[in-house]
């Protein structure tokens, strides 16, 4: 293992805890009605995947790019200082840094929200590279985002490990030829990570098991 690629939402920050409520507000503004539980049941989707589904199911005429602007990202970001990073993730990042293991953040979030999240959590210095949704043509489960991350780290895919909390992310890592650690500690999103090479609900445990 020469590099580790982290997902962002649900892995370094429990953003799902606020995002689902804001998504309910956003879809309601265009006359679509979904509950928090319904949105949670869809699992981890990128913005384009989420709004493509809503557009199709609700018969909306607006383009996906236009609909995505309805989401109040600034309101979500304003809540991040209260959330803080997921317990144990900073210690794990420091462990990788101390041991010369390169790290990247690969997220389906926008560049704006990715940078704002890293700034709010003071985590920018821990990552050697970042990849956001604007840098890829296809969202997870496409392996593209992890392939781009490995290239930015100047590493071969097989020397990288991905930390993910979603089935789409796990499938993307596998398709990229990378091992995947399934993080299952998020109380807001529950996905089947049984096919991950290692699965844990605690970053402290993950650190101990890979040390």
Q: What is the pLDDT along the chain (211 residues), one digit of tens a residue?
A: 999 999 999 999 998 878 989 999 999 999 999 999 999 888 888 899 999 999 999 999 999 999 999 999 999 999 887 889 999 999 999 999 999 999 999 999 999 999 999 999 999 999 999 999 999 999 999 999 999 999 999 999 999 999 999 999 999 999 999 999 999 998 766 788 999 999 999 999 998 888 7
Starting at the edge strand that comes first in sequence, how are the strands of the sheet with 102-106 ordered? 129-131, 102-106, 3-6, 160-164, 179-183, 198-200
Contacts of 1 (CB under 8 A, 6+ apart): 101, 159, 160, 161, 179, 210
CA 105 to chain centre: 9
CA distances from 155 to 6, 41, 103, 180, 208 (A): 15, 35, 11, 16, 24
3-class DSSP state of 161: strand
In the CATH scheme, what architecture does the domain 3-14+84-210 have?
3-Layer(aba) Sandwich (3.40)
- Cis bond upstream, residue 31 (ω within 30): no
How many Å apart are CA 95 and CA 25, to the nearest integer?
39
How many Å apart are CA 211 and CA 205, to the nearest integer?
10
C-alpha torsion sign, points 180, 166, 74, 47: positive
6: which 2 tokens? 């982290």
- Domain coordinates of the chain in residue numbers? 3-14+84-210, 16-78
């Amino acid at each position: 293992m020469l590099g580790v690629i982290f997902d962002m939402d649900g892995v370094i920050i429990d953003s799902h805890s606020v995002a689902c409520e804001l998504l309910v507000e956003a879809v309601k503004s265009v006359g679509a009605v979904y509950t928090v539980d319904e949105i949670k049941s869809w699992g981890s989707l990128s913005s384009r995947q989420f709004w493509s589904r809503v557009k199709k199911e609700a018969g909306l005429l607006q383009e996906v790019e236009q609909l995505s602007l309805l989401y109040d990202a600034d309101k979500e970001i304003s809540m991040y200082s209260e959330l803080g990073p997921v317990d144990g993730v900073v210690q794990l990042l420091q462990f990788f840094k101390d041991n010369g293991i390169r790290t990247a953040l690969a997220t389906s979030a926008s560049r704006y929200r990715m940078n704002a999240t890293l700034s709010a959590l003071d985590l920018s210095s821990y990552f050697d590279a970042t990849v956001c949704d604007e840098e890829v043509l296809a969202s997870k489960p496409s392996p593209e985002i992890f392939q781009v991350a490995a290239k930015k780290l100047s590493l071969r895919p097989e020397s990288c490990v991905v930390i993910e909390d979603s089935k789409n992310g796990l499938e993307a890592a596998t398709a990229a030829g990378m091992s995947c650690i399934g993080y299952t500690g998020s109380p807001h999103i529950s996905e089947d990570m049984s096919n991950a090479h290692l699965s844990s609900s605690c970053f402290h445990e993950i650190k101990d098991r890979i040390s």
